[in-house]
Amino acid sequence: MKKFNIPTPKVNRDFFTARGKEPLSAILIPLAVTAVIFAAAFYLFLPSLNLHDGEFWFFVISAIILYMVIKGLHMSIHHIRGSVKISFLVLCCLLAAWALLGLWSTKLFHAKAYSQILTVTDDTVESIPSVEATDAIALMDTASAERLGDRRIGSLTDVVSQFNVGEYIQINYRETPSKVAALSYDGFFKWSANRGRGVPGYVIVNPVDMSAEYVALENGMRYVPSAWFNDNLYRRIRFKYPFDMIGNLHFEIDEDGKPWYIASVYQKKIGWFGGLQVKGAIVADPVSGEIAKYNTGEIPVFADVVFDGDLICTQYNNYAQLKHGFWNSIFAQTDCRRVTTLVETDDDESRTYSDYGYIAMDGDIWIYTGVTSVNGDSSNLGFILSNERTEETRYIPCAGADEFSGMRSAEGEVQEKGYTASFPSLINVDGVPTYIMVLKDANGLVKMFAAVNVEQYNQVVTASSQEECLNRYRMMITGKTPSEEEVDPSALKEKTIVVTKMEKIDIEGNTWLYIVDEKKEIYKAKYADVLGMLMVSEGDSITILTDGSTFRMKE
C-alpha cells in the first residue's frame, strides 16, 4: 500500500498571532502599556473627557504617539516584523482635524458670534454706588489682605506650622464685601499627618475696616484642592463629572459662615473650540464631600463668583472690538474699545492682563473696570459693572481719567512719603464719579485714603481716614464748607461717648475738630464752636448733641 506523506501544518505557537506577518502581541502589549501609563496620567492631570476640550485632544494625540514609540521599541527588542503605519495615519488625521477645527473656531470666521456672547445694557452714572454706601466698597487689595491674614495666622502656632493660607477670593458676606481664604496643607507630609482632622478653618478679611479673623471649624474640611489622592477635591469632582469642562475652583462661605467650594462648568459655544461660556456651577461641601451641579439659573445665592472677572473682561473685549467685524478690529479699529489693562514687566518679559475692582451691590459681588479705546491712551470712555454670579453687565458712559492715571495722581499728592496707591474703587459723590483708594507704605500697611475726580483727575484729596477724606473731597467739588447752621436742630440727639481720638484739621481757613468714639464713629465741628473740648482729653467720657456726623457740646 502506497504511503502518502501528508505535510504537517506549521503551527505558530504564539496564540497572540494575528493574520498576516505581525503577531497580535506586537499590538496588544504596547496597547496595554500605553493604557496603564495614560490611566495614571488621567489620575494625575484629570483632563475632561470632552471632545470640545483642546486638552482632551492633546491627551489622545499624546497617547497615540506614546503607543507608536512603545510599539517600535517592542518590535525592535523582540525582532518582530511590524508597522506603525495605521497608527501614524490615525495620528495625522487627528492632528489635521484638531488644526482645522481650531482654525474654524477662531474669531476670523465667527467675529459676530464672539461679540454676542456677552449681553451689555446701557446705564447711567446714578447706578454707581453712592458715597453713602461706602461700606459696600472694598478698598483693600489682595496683597494687603494677604498680609493681614498672614499676621492673624502667625499668632496661631498649631496652625501656622502645618498649613498655609490659600488664595483669597472676594465675596459678599452679610452685605459686606469680604475676602476669604481657606487654609491649605503645606505639602504631602503635612496632609498625611493632619488628614484625620482635615483643614481646621479659614481666614476672613474685611477690606472696609481692615480687620482679619481666623474662623475655626467644628469639623475640619477633608476634601480640599491641597489634599492628595482621592481626598483631592478636584479629583473627586472630576470622577463624578468626567465629561464636564471645569475651572475656577475656589473657596467661599455662605451667610452662616459654612465653607463651600465652587467651580464653574464651561461650554464652547462657537465652532468647536471657541466661545468659552459658563453653563453652570458645581457646589461642593468640603467637610462631607457631597457635590451637586446646578444650571446657571439655579445656582445658590451664596455662590458669588461663578463668572470670574477675567472671563467677563475677555468677553467684553470681544463685544467691544468684534461687533463691526474681525478685520475692523485689526486695521481700522472703528469704535473699538477694551477694558482697563495692566502691563507688568518681569525679567524683560511683558505680560498684559485685565484689572478690575469689586463692589458689593444687590446682594452680589460686581466687578467694575474702565473702558478705553484700543489705542492705549490714559483716558476712559466709561465703565462696566458686571455681576459675577449672573453676568448681568452694564455700560456707564463717563469720560475721564483711567484708573492708573487716578492712582498716579493720588500718589503725587504724597510723593514725599513714597506711598503707593491700590487699584481704586468707583463711587458716586453727589453725582460726580470718583475714584477712592488706599495709599500704602513700603510694608504694605494702609496709611492714608485718597479720592480723585474721574473727570478732572487733578482734583485730589488725601486724608488719614476714609470719613475725613470724603468730607474734604465733598467740600472741594461743591465749593461749600459745611456749617453748623446747615444742621437741622431737630435732628440732634443727645449721646454719651468716650473720646478715643481727637484731631484738628484746617480746611479753607477754618479749623475743624474731628473726634472718634469707642465705636470708631467720627464726629466733626468747627473748633471755634466747641472750645469746651479744650478741657477734654482722649479717654474722657462726654455728652454731645449730634446728628450722626456733626456735633455740639451739651450746655
**Contact criterion met (CB below 8 Å) for 382 and 397:** yes
Q: For residues 322 and 115, what is the distance between their CA atoms, to the nearest angstrom? A: 5
Contacts of 288 (CB under 8 A, 6+ apart): none
Domain boundaries, the chain: 25-104, 138-306, 311-344+351-478, 487-553
Q: pLDDT digit of tens for each residue in the chain (555 aa)?
A: 455 555 554 444 443 344 456 788 888 999 999 999 999 999 999 999 999 999 999 999 999 999 999 999 988 888 887 788 889 999 999 999 999 999 999 999 999 999 999 999 999 988 888 877 666 676 777 888 888 888 888 878 778 889 999 999 999 998 888 999 999 999 999 999 999 999 999 999 987 777 899 999 999 999 999 999 999 999 999 999 999 999 999 999 999 999 999 999 999 999 999 999 999 999 999 999 999 999 998 999 999 999 999 999 999 999 999 999 999 999 999 999 999 887 776 666 667 778 898 888 888 999 999 999 987 677 899 999 999 999 999 999 999 999 999 999 999 989 888 999 999 989 999 889 999 999 998 888 888 999 999 999 989 999 888 888 888 898 888 766 554 445 556 668 889 999 999 988 876 567 888 899 988 888 888 888 888 888 899 999 999 998 777 888 886
DSSP state of 130: B
Phi, psi for residue 548 in degrees, rounded to 5: 110, -25
Q: What pLDDT does 3 receive?
A: 53
Which fold would CATH assign to domain 487-553? Answer: OB fold (Dihydrolipoamide Acetyltransferase, E2P) (2.40.50)
Q: What pLDDT does 136 receive?
A: 62
Q: 77-93 as b/e, with b when 16 or more CB fall inside 10 Å?
A: eeebebebeebeebbee
Q: For residues 170 and 262, what is the distance between their CA atoms, to the nearest angstrom? A: 13
If you write DSSP's letter for every residue of 439-486 in order, what string do you get? Answer: EE-TTS-EEEEEEEESSSTT-EEEESSHHHHHHHHHHHHH-----GGG
Q: What pLDDT does 551 receive?
A: 87
Q: For residues 35 and 17, what is the distance between their CA atoms, to the nearest angstrom? A: 21
Q: What pLDDT does 13 receive?
A: 43
Q: For residues 140 and 529, what is the distance between their CA atoms, to the nearest angstrom? A: 36
Q: What pLDDT does 142 receive?
A: 80
Q: What pLDDT does 508 receive?
A: 59
Q: For residues 555 and 150, what is the distance between their CA atoms, to the nearest angstrom? A: 48
Q: Quick one: residue 196, left, alpha or beta (phi over 0 = left, psi -120 to 50 = alpha)?
A: alpha
Q: For residues 362 and 38, what is the distance between their CA atoms, to the nearest angstrom? A: 47
List the one residue out of 168, 105, 183 whose CA is nearest residue 138.
168
Cβ atoms within 10 A of the Cβ of 236, count?
20
Q: 428-455 as b/e, with b when 16 or more CB fall inside 10 Å?
A: bbeebbbbbbbbbeeeeebebbbbbbbe
Q: For residues 84 and 71, what is the distance between their CA atoms, to the nearest angstrom? A: 8
Q: What pLDDT does 14 receive?
A: 44
Q: For residues 114 and 549, what is the distance between their CA atoms, to the nearest angstrom? A: 50
List the one residue out of 172, 137, 145 whose CA is nearest residue 387.
172
**Contact criterion met (CB below 8 Å) for 250 and 188:** no
List the one residue out of 516, 524, 513 whose CA is nearest residue 498.
516
Provide the residue count of the chain: 555
**Partners of 369 in beta bridges:** 384
**Contact criterion met (CB below 8 Å) for 131 and 153:** no
Q: What pLDDT does 529 receive?
A: 83
Q: Map grid coordinates 504596547 to a residue.
A: 30
Q: For residues 342 and 353, what is the distance between their CA atoms, to the nearest angstrom? A: 6
Q: For residues 2 and 86, what is the distance between their CA atoms, to the nearest angstrom? A: 51
